[in-house]
Amino acid sequence: MDKQKKYKISFYIVCMNRLDHLKQTLHKNIEDNISYGNVEFILLNYNSKDGLDEWVQSEMSHLIKKGTLKYFKTEEPKYFLRSHSRNVVAKQTTGDIICNVDADNFIGKGFADYVNAQFHKDDNIFLSVNKNGNIKDCYGRICMKRKDFMKLGGYDESMKNYGFEDFDLVNRLKLLGLKNQFIDNKEFLTALNHDDDIRLENEYNSSGIQKIYLRYITPSVSELVFHFMDNRVYWGKIVDNRTHNSESIENLFPENRKFEYEYNLMANKWEIGNYSADGNTLFKNFCVEGIKKNPDYVKITEQKDFMSMVMFFSQIGNRIKMKQNLIEKRIQVNGESFGEGKVVQYKHV
């Protein structure tokens, strides 16, 4: 490719009930990068119920007419699925280079020029954010050749909960033989602050988990029981890696800091059962109904603690799947298709 030619860059964004964030970021991101020229912004309304259509019509229709912004919508999803939603919108891109931008992210002035320059320096790369750099809210920012994204089969849609789908994509891009370049300018890596409740509010687990019970076994091992609204029950032992080898009072307090993650699910597996109101359903060696009568089990009622455990449940499945893909050196995922669903483009909103 001629070194003077600019790659076409597609920035893709998904929104499901995050209009408050989008109002602050989208127009600013376009304004800060429109001078690049060969750029498009692709916005997917992932069945948002917060007035996104009306806002796009009143504030963004002029950009749609110019072709700077392309607006797509699907009304099928009931809950937010990160991998699926990103695959849906990424397939609508037409750029040589595509880049995910979360609805709460500011990409910064001149980011498109920066991306173009990096790919001209080395054609065999992808860009991501250093996960050791303490910029958590921008981990989803991954810029890659569209053709490489398609080779991978996109994000792994078996990862249906929160987190690690972006780290998994990074791992598979490396397995494809690409070099990982970190986005090193912090001016390109800012985001709106918000708590974990907002991160999870559109996911099934946030509303689906009705009750959580906790039982302490040792200083480093606890038992968690999640009771869902559809009467499924998940049970497992959680290991605190900070104090994992605390077998006596003498070594109870010294903390082990050589671990990748603070908490693990023992054996990487949940036991799964079903709860019945009459209490007759056996869940392993005890009756689920009996938990309420067992003083060793504590029902989690504090909202902060409850959401922290929902977050753990939401993340651990994706984390285990990411590790499995890495161990198996799995490059391509999702079989023959990904990002499936009925999607409509609105050219005049």
Q: Are 207 and 124 part of one and the same domain? A: no
Residue 57 belongs to some domain of the structure: yes
pLDDT digits (tens, 9 = 90+) for 56-88: 999 999 999 999 999 999 999 999 999 999 999
Buried b / exposed e over 228-260, threshold 16 CB at 10 Å, is beeeebbbbbbbbbebbebeeeeeeeeeeeeee
User: 277 falls in which pLDDT band (50, 70, 90)?
Assistant: low
**Measured between alpha carbons, how far is 201 from 17 in angstroms, rounded to an integer?**
9
Please state the rounded mean pLDDT for residues 103-132: 96
In this prediction, residue 259 carries a pLDDT of 61
Contact 49, 136 (CB under 8 A): no
Q: Are 222 and 151 part of one and the same domain? A: no
Q: In this structure, how many other beta carbons lie within 10 angstroms of the beta carbon of residue 54? A: 11
Map tokens 């285990």 to a residue: 320
Domain with 265 in it: 200-327
Q: Are 229 and 175 part of one and the same domain? A: no
**AA letter at 130:** N
The pTM score is: 0.91
**Measured between alpha carbons, how far is 105 from 71 in angstroms, rounded to an integer?**
18
Contact 42, 14 (CB under 8 A): no
**Crossing angle of helices 165-175/303-327, nearest 10°?**
10
Residue 283 belongs to some domain of the structure: yes
In this prediction, residue 285 carries a pLDDT of 43
**Measured between alpha carbons, how far is 328 from 171 in angstroms, rounded to an integer?**
11
**Measured between alpha carbons, how far is 271 from 307 in angstroms, rounded to an integer?**
21
Q: Are 110 and 259 part of one and the same domain? A: no
Contact 89, 13 (CB under 8 A): yes
Q: Are 160 and 287 part of one and the same domain? A: no
Contacts of 102 (CB under 8 A, 6+ apart): 13, 14, 137, 138, 140, 141, 191
Contact 22, 50 (CB under 8 A): no
The SS3 call for residue 181 is strand
**AA letter at 59:** E
**Measured between alpha carbons, how far is 326 from 321 in angstroms, rounded to an integer?**
9
Residue 4 belongs to some domain of the structure: no
| CA-closest candidate to residue 17, choices 197, 252, 189 | 197
Q: Are 152 and 255 part of one and the same domain? A: no
Q: At residue 134, does pLDDT exceed 80?
A: no
| Total domains, the chain | 2
Q: Are 237 and 127 part of one and the same domain? A: no
Q: What is the domain-level CATH number for residue 100? A: 3.90.550.10
Residue 3 belongs to some domain of the structure: no
pLDDT digits (tens, 9 = 90+) for 6-58: 999 999 999 999 999 999 999 999 999 999 999 999 999 999 999 999 999 99
Q: Are 18 and 161 part of one and the same domain? A: yes
User: 282 falls in which pLDDT band (50, 70, 90)?
Assistant: very low
Q: Are 57 and 183 part of one and the same domain? A: yes
**Measured between alpha carbons, how far is 159 from 167 in angstroms, rounded to an integer?**
12
Contacts of 187 (CB under 8 A, 6+ apart): 108, 109
Q: Are 97 and 178 part of one and the same domain? A: yes
Q: At residue 98, does pLDDT exceed 60?
A: yes
Q: Are 185 and 306 part of one and the same domain? A: no
pLDDT digits (tens, 9 = 90+) for 152-182: 999 999 999 999 999 999 999 999 999 999 9
Token readout for 338 is 């990904």
**AA letter at 160:** K
Q: Are 170 and 246 part of one and the same domain? A: no
